[in-house]
Structure 1
Amino acid sequence: MAFDSYVLGGGQMKVLLVDDETSILDQGKIFLKKEDDRLDVETTSSVEKALEMLNNSKYDVIVSDYQMPETDGLEFLETVREERNSDVPFIIFTGKGREEVAMEALNLGVDRYLEKGGSLKSQYGVLADAIVQEVERGKAERRLKKAKDRAQKYLNIADVIIVAQDRNQEVIEINERGCEILGYDKDEIIGKNWYENFMPERVRKDVLKGATKPLMNGRVEEGKRYENPIVTKDGEERIISWKNSVIRDDDGETIGILSSGRDITERKKAEEKLKESEERLDLALEGTKAGLWDWNVQTGETVFDERWAEIVGYELEELEPVSIETWKELAHPEDLERSDELLEKHFDGETDFYEFEGRMKHKDGQWVWVQDRGKVVEWDDEGNPVRMTGTHVDITERKRREENLKRYKKAVQSSDNSIYMIDKDYRYVFANDEHISRLLDDGKIPSRNKDEVVGRKYAEIHLDEETDALKDNVGRVLEKGKPVTEEYEFNTVDRWSSRTYSPVKDRESGEIEGIIIVSEDITERKERERELQTYADVFDNVPVGLHIYRLERPDDDSSLRMIYANKITETYTSIPVEEVVSKTLDESFPGLREMGIPQAYAEVARTGKAKELGDVHYGDEKVPDRWFNVRAFPLPDNCVGASFTDITERKKAEEELEEARDDYRVRR
């Protein structure tokens, strides 16, 4: 059945078929529905009746014959386009095509001009194809128009200046806020040189040299902030904070600049008044990244600096007017009582400083952790606090690390897997309860006391062959700087284990300090793999390629390792199954990574949701060029299945059909 990709989208397409031959109407209604069951076809044998039907119903597309009694297809097209001002997709479907008729139809606004002929399935297959394509094109154009309308609406409601200029520095677009600040009507601005007409002469050269021209030539990053004055219609200068980005055409060439600017004139005036004091504070706070607060305890009047507001995601002007209530409103309700207790202790002289760690509501809705530290700097004659100053420091990352460490330690200790860490001298640094238990069960230590393990060298506890195997895998980790996973079967019991060696790196230098080893019992998984092999004969006889991969490390798509491939894949890839099973996807088919295939397979394994990858073209030095339709589906144990069908011949046929169409267009 045609149009499988469109069927996935759903939705009916209402078609009006107009032809004076009833046999064509009957055939069209039947064959178009067969080609694509989304096509809901209504028919009529005359243009007059068709126009009446258009008055009463909405259609997604019109298909009309050319030669008809009384009114022909071109007159019908002209009525729809000019008299009714309709842009509904219109297809001429005629048995007697002539070049001059086709040219006139194109001039009148026809979307497709198709000739009848050939087998019924062939001609209606082509027609159904054209109908779906024209309907989808029309929908896309309407969506684009809506998107442009929404963008224009945003431009007009934005509380910042938005202005676009071309390579000649002439304004090609400006929003209502920009016109309001400049004091001009829009038509007084469009087409004018932005720098010569709306910027003080003293700064034009510097702005062009320092910001505009380097940005146009790609020598500075987009989004960098710039501040410069503009001149309004009445001669006033306003200071604007600009953020610029380039405008590119479809070929990626820079054709202009889009700028958004916030009027910060009032803020700048206030900054000038406070500049001297801010410089002193900057020197004191430069190394701490702290925000400053100054609180009149008796009146509640409070002063915050920009950094204080920045910690909670605001610009200071967004919080104004400010007072001690500003802090209380942003603080977590559960933390206020503890803060009050600590303040009282400081006011009573029990502590030299007030120091408190609490949460504050960030502008984006999250809670950030802040270290609040301050001291009373002025008292009244009765010994009551008058003025207090202090700082806020964002400690969110520190708190997050502490919390993550707590959760990690708890998870590690309670894990059913054996987890331990050794340093580069093969000495135990850490071992969880499960690892201690396994060592005790194996008779390698006399008690559960961790002192029997931590601090001792691996070779003091384990057999020589175990130590040699560990050193071999640690050497691979140190060489690659990446995790290494091995699977092995115990000799004494019918049990399998997977052991992953992961590097632990110094946060500052990046050097490997040690290795964490996680040993997981995979006996049940191996049993399921054996069960999978019992179905190999069935899978080998299905006419679809099947690969099964296991994602050995959930956060690493390069750890996808093949555990099964059916025999038909040898026909597709020209590679024996035994050469790819047990290898990673990247090792067997390296070219798939740039297509995003390993990333997609890993996502399916992680999310448990199947994914249609569509048509994929692949070939390398071992695999001949072929087209495949690929689908990925989740399987237990972090596994993903990939089924693929060879569609090379279908693709060739589609290319031949497109070449024939191109040839027809050239001849036409």
Structure 2
Amino acid sequence: MGENARSTDDASSFDVTDEGVDSVYEAIFREMDDAVFIVEVGRTGDGYKFTFGQNNTAHQEQTGLSEDAMRGQTPREFLGDEQGAAVAANYRRCVERGETIEYEEWLDFPGGTSCWQTKLTPITEDGRVTRIVGVARDITEQKEQEREHQRTHRRFQTVLETMSAAVFLKDADGRYLLMNQACRDLLDVDDDSVGMTDRDLFPQESAERARADDQRVLNSGEQIEIEETIPTSAGESVRLTRKSPVYDDEGEIVAVCGVSTDITEQKERERTLQQLKDRLELAVEGAQLGIWDWDMTTDEVEFNEQWARMLGHSADEIEPRLEEWERRVHPDDLEPVEDALSEHIAGETAYYDTEHRMRTASGEWKWIRDVGKVVERDGEGEPVRAVGIHLDVDDQKRRERELERTRALIERTQESASIGWWEFDLLDGSLTWSDEVYRIHEVPMDESVELEDAIEFYHPADRETIEAAFDRLIEEGESYDLELRVVRESGQTRWVRAIGDPQFDDSGDVVGALGLFQDITERKEYEVALESTREELRKIIDLVPDLVFAKNRDGEYLLANKATAEAYGKTPEEVEGRSEADIIPNVDDSAEFRQDDLEVIESGEPRLIGEEMLTTADGETRILQTTKIPYKVSETGEDAVLGYARDVTELKEYERTLEQQRDSLTLLNQVVRHDIRNQLMVVESYTELLVDSLPDDQSRTYARTVIEAAKQATEITETAKDVTDVLLQVGSDRSPVNLRDELSDQIERVRADQDRARVSVDGDIPDVTVLADDLLESVFRNLLTNAVVHNNEDVAEIAVSARVDGDCVRVSIADNGPGIEDKHKEQIFQEGEKGLESGGTGVGLYLVKTLVDKYGGDVWVEDNEPTGSVFVVELPLAD
């Protein structure tokens, strides 16, 4: 009351009325930041009753209750039994003490839970407390901070004490203020470490070094990091220690905080790793390995010098980008390489491992083995880093390809040649066959075969032979090479070549056998066929009536057919294998034959010997026409001569007879041409002189007939000369002859000799040369004369034409005579044939046909219009 009175008195001193004072207090009450409330204090029989009266705006905001909602409420009604009882107890304590009290309390309001710092002041009237004025400040946030600070402190203490690193705090004088458990264990001190210095813990040198480090932090205000070796009871410990300055509220450095990590094992690992790195670098350099390190987030790749050198580059020529690798991979290899890399990145393979080609600086392709591994992934499992190596396997790949080609060639060769291999292990009794051996026996390749089974495959007649040979191989180390028969699973018999070689151990004992097995059935069949063919050929050679023989350089007979042997009075068996000088009847013949043989062998050129004499065993001299050809003996490769000699003794006799007949014919031709022709010219001349002196026409007609007959007889002698020349010609040599000259000459001759002939030329005669000889004129003369002689018209009209047709020239001679029936057009060119009503010999057209055929041409007859014939001659042009 005194205070209230003083308060009222104070208000009055400012000339403020009671009503004004109440207004002032009311305003202050309502506008205070703290929550203010008034509790009415009533008395009960055994205690107090507290009910809420007024509360200001701050109280209403903090509690969420209006003044009307609170007025008349007791603490229990307002806050519940538990909190209401606690609040009422504090109100009672304030009333009973009769003085202001302060405390902190947590209350649940409709607006939420709050922590209040509450001050209760009793108001007395007439010596009795009738009201309590409460002022509450919301310290909820402060209390939460304190709680968080306490939790953080406890966590810090827990972390600090459980850290493996040693943590300490020293003041500016070097005294320890704090050590965590790891630090205490390291320095082997108990919990009472506060106030100790480094001098208490370390040798003087170590303590001074530690103090110097502390001073550096205190003076510079910077964090330092040092690597130090600390002596401990367990030995020296290598530590990485970081020391940092600690500041007070004024920013002054007052302490040093240190964190020391044990890096003893790390340093040991680093030393070991360095050793490994050094060794690896030596190994990489020695093995010429290219190293790559790929940052998969940026596609930057680090290539070592050897990687670049492997491709013919220096390291500075290679950009550190993935594209440098990609653009050098062979286009055909890039897709499978990228597939292998994707599979590894996806975790499907433990390593990325491929072999591919890469382009070198010279543009060539080199085989590289590329092995790598993803060594780092991020939190989501995505690859971050991969490392790997390049190994130059170009030579290896080339060897592999060559080996593969060789292996394939061997396999194809073995299969083509039906050659397989087999191996027998004497120690365990196992027999191994190659695929080809299985095929030869027609046994499934997955079927195992014992030695006894293999022996059973041999033909019963050959089984004893192979058993004996195999026993000698095992017991005596003797190899074998046999040609035997085997019976396949199908029952078919095949010939095989079986080869076996012993295999020895280091002591020289036989431990097994290795051999080849070849199907030689076709060769055997060929040999049989060859032998049969040889026998047939021998029979054929012996049937040849001419001498067939072969001799080597030494004159030894390698072959002599029956005719050769009979000439020597021997059989072929008695001749073959012996020298010619030993068996020939006349040794002088042998010397000449021997010289011919050696010339053919030395020159390597065949030789035709037109005539050589051989004295037979009967003493008869025969003339031989011999052909000798050089050849090599297939079995030995030695030089030899093959001879074929025909007995031309009778032919030579006939040729001599023919030569005599030729001489007689030549003489006869000269007589015909000279004596008979001269007599006919006398007859023709004198008859022409008599024509004009004859008394009548009939006589003159007879005379002219004689003259015409004489002329025809002269022509016949001319034709006879031509026929004789053809018959006496040897060979058929042709030479270029000018067609225009020869044809023109014969046309002019017919015009001069034949009074009743009128010869015309259609167009120009081509100025070309044909392949013929001197008798070409006879072809044209006979055809022109034939057109006059066999013409029944008073005037023989003859038309001559010629044209070039391709590589030949065609000459046509047309007349106006009676013509030739189709059935006679072929016959008139035959020897002795005559035209109808012809008085000629029939030799002229035969001569024409013979000569034209000789020249390589053709001649035929066609019908002329309206009557007559056309003789056509076609001759080849000279080049």
Q: TM-score range by the shorter chain?
A: 0.3 to 0.5
Flag the structure with larger Rg: 2
Q: TM-score, normalised by structure 1?
A: 0.33
Q: Which has the higher contact order (CA 8 A, sep 6+)?
A: 1
